[in-house]
Amino acid sequence: MTWTSDPWLGFDTETTGTSPFKDRLVTAALVLRVEGRDDQVATWLADPGVEIPEQASAVHGITTEYAREHGRPVEEVLEEVAGCLTEHWFRGFPVVAFNASYDITLVDRELSRHGLATFAERLDGEPMLVVDPLVLDRKLDRFRKGKKTLTDMAPVYGVEASPDAHTAEVDVAMTLNVLAGIARKFPELEDHDAASLTGYQARAHREWAEDFEKYLRRQGREASIERDWPLIMPRTRD
């Protein structure tokens, strides 16, 4: 079966910053879309155990004080989120995330940081099936001018950009809608199942990273773009 017929599990996080290796989970959202309809929605608010910088609070609206008062212990949230993702992967279905390598890597690093089983340990060799609209758009419409943010990309695929962007559950719904638009615009993607599409995106990301790194260096800028996707493998960054 083609991946477009699978149940999609949309996934997004809001965090304390922009580094998937150093920053911490604040909120997470999962939306299960079955046959084009949102069947289940789950959201979490965590107390990350560290201060939430003002710059991050300005983006997602969660302050340190609010997270401490209303958030659950981050270990509990991580265990539940990772359990839902892993269960979906064990069923052979794809997780959908915009800029997936950030969210998946951040949660994986958080699991390790708190002494919980990582995704690799949970999956035990089963595939991590991921669909990332950002990777697909970069590959299939690479020469389109303009930014490649979710809110900028949405109108390209017939999706209204929500004024509540940067709340995890809103971004998940918008991501799923953008992916549906990409699938309509590029029907050749129907030839894939979830596993082959994941491999296709891994290759596409590597090609983009190599090309973008060369471009930056031609501009006289030092650059090292990650080749790993969807999970950036740990090196010496924690």
State pLDDT tens for residues 196-235. 999 999 999 999 999 999 999 999 999 899 999 999 987 6
CA pair distance 62, 158, nearest whole angstrom: 30
- Both tokens of 100, joined, read 């997936």
State residue 163's pLDDT score.
76
User: 33-60 burial by CB neighbour count: b if 16+ within 10 A, else e?
Assistant: beeeeeeeeeebbbbbbeebeeebbeeb
pLDDT tens for each residue of 148-157: 999 999 999 9
State residue 115's pLDDT score.
98
Phi/psi for 13 (5° steps) reads -130, 160
| 111: three-class secondary structure by DSSP | helix
What angle is formed at CA 60 by the lines to CA 120 and CA 49, rounded to 5 degrees? 55
User: Which H or E element spans position 170?
Assistant: helix 168-185
Cβ pair 67, 52 in contact under 8 A: yes
In the chain, domain spans: 8-219
**Fold adopted by 8-219:** Nucleotidyltransferase; domain 5 (3.30.420)
Alpha carbon distances (Å) from 33 to 4, 88, 94, 136, 146: 11, 12, 11, 19, 29
pLDDT range class, residue 236, cuts 50, 70, 90: low
Note the pTM of the prediction, 2 decimals. Answer: 0.95
Question: Average pLDDT of the chain?
Answer: 95
| 19: three-class secondary structure by DSSP | coil
